Amino acid sequence: MPVTTEVRVRYAETDQMGIVYYANYLVWFEIGRVEVLRTLGLSYHKLEVEEQCILPVVEAKCRYRAPARYDDQILIEARPALLRGSVLKFAYRILRKAPEGQEPALLAEGETTHVVCDGELNKKPLPERYAEALRALMVDE
């Protein structure tokens, strides 16, 4: 089940045409990942500081379907999609919030792949409480 976060497109996120610059979708993906952990009662910061784990992005994909524009209210849907060994994938959908009674418009969808590492970039397993929580969210689908 995805975790949904709502944000409003800021002027600084757009180009001269008022359309969101493509790289900002990756920033929104990161917002989604952080909120997935927060929703599970976990913390990205504590994962890094207390557990000595970092999650570098080793691959990012984004398929753009329609433009987001300045002042749009968007929904960031994020969910864990795979946890195998030290590999963790998240899936995302970016939608334009619709007026009451209408369906939101799909703007983009994508995924990021991460490798769980220590500070020296050596692979390591995700701490069990994080792994359990993420797996539980994957099962709810």
Which entry of 15, 71, 72, 118 is annotated as an active-site residue?
15
Residue 71 annotated to the active site = no
Q: What is the 3-state secondary structure (H, E, C) of the chain?
A: CCEEEEEECCHHHECCCCEECCCHHHHHHHHHHHHHHHHCCCCHHHHHHCCCCECCEEEEEEEECCCCECCCEEEEEEEEEEEECCEEEEEEEEEECCCCCCCCEEEEEEEEEEECECCCCCECCCCHHHHHHHHHHHHCC
User: Which positions are catalytic?
Assistant: 15
